[in-house]
Structure 1
Amino acid sequence: MTTVILGVIGSDAHVVGITILERAFAAAGFEVVNLGVQTSQTEFVAAADARDAEAILVSSLYGHAKQDCKGFHEQVDAAGLDVTTYIGGNLAVGQNDFDETRATFEAMGFDRVFDSETDPEEAIEALRADLGHRMPESERARVDA
């Protein structure tokens, strides 16, 4: 089973979004480790290392993700992790041009960047494509039951 690490980075305490994501990714057959809110970069990296995760999903809704994620991928690289990284939410205060916001976070090293209106299914399908596999038949049968 593919393990993903999920959490809200920095001082952000918005829990509803990650609860929805946790349920959606689990229903789609992923093993989800939800670190909760106010998660440090170090906690994301340590959890991904400890669980041999294939992806880290970072959420931020309070608009300060750029500051919270500065140096994040350097920590991922220093730990020797080979993970796909996603970030989503309301990533910038006064975010008017999401294409600009997306470019900023891609330049910081994130593989995909989503806005706060993204349907969880879109992120799930993107992760499956990025990891190069579909849910195994045995998992699909369990979810459909």
Structure 2
Amino acid sequence: MNMPTKLRPATEQFSEGRVIILGVAGSDCHVVANKLIEYELRASGFDVINLGACTSVDEFVNAFQSHPDADAMVIGSVNGHAYEDLKALRDAKDNLLIPCPIIVGGNLGVTRDQAAKTKEKLLALGVDYVLEDAAELLLLLHQLPRRNVFIAE
């Protein structure tokens, strides 16, 4: 019986080869959380395409067109302007320009009420998941099914 020479954590085995597009919404230049999330995703075995700060919806669309095998798109925003920055997502989702799940998280409002209203607006734009805590991200990503890697040319 051949035994593997190096055992990897189950989460890393599950994540291997999965592509995540990561970025910070349009008007937001805060990158500390973005870099920490990138580090955690890579350490968990994900392939991360990090677009960095101040990423427009068009840049997210272009990233997906360059990486059609992406399993999810993760967008952060801590300046409270996520909805304004991501309004063009509705059109991108309706036109199937971003068919993978979109996850948004961060500081979505100054108050709980404002954050709750922003969450509802983001979901109406086509965002699939809105997270309140970055610690929820890995669990969610591991629950998402792999996208079909056989993309027609």
**2:29 match: secondary structure:** coil
Number of the residue aligned with 1:124: 138
Check conservation: 1:106, 1:113, Cα contact below 8 A.
Answer: yes
Q: How does 1:1-145 map to 2 (within 5 A)?
A: 1-52=17-68, 53-92=70-109, 94-97=110-113, 98-115=115-132, 118-120=133-135, 122-131=136-145
**1:92-141 deviation per Cα after TM superposition (whole angstroms, max 9, x unaligned):** 3x2323444332222221111012xx143x211112212269xxxxxxxx
Amino acid at match of 1:105: L
Deviation larger for 64-73 or 75-84: 75-84
Amino acid at match of 1:8: V
Identify, as 1 or 2, the structure richer in helix.
Answer: 1
Check conservation: 2:105, 2:134, Cα contact below 8 A.
Answer: no
User: What is the CA–CA distance in structure 1 between the aligned matches of 2:105 and 2:120, rounded to whole Å?
Assistant: 13
**1:44-67 deviation per Cα after TM superposition (whole angstroms, max 9, x unaligned):** 111111012121111111011110
Check conservation: 1:54, 1:82, Cα contact below 8 A.
Answer: no
Pick the structure with greater CA Rg: 2
Moved over 4 A (4+): none
Percent of matched pairs sharing the same residue: 35
- Which runs of 5 or more structure 2 residues have no equivalent in the other structure? 1-16, 148-153
The structure-2 alpha-carbon separation of the partners of 1:80 and 1:68, relative to structure 1 and needing over 3 Å to count, comes to closer
* Structure-1-length-normalised TM-score: 0.80
Deviation larger for 12-21 or 47-56: 47-56
**1:54 match: secondary structure:** strand
Amino acid at match of 2:63: A
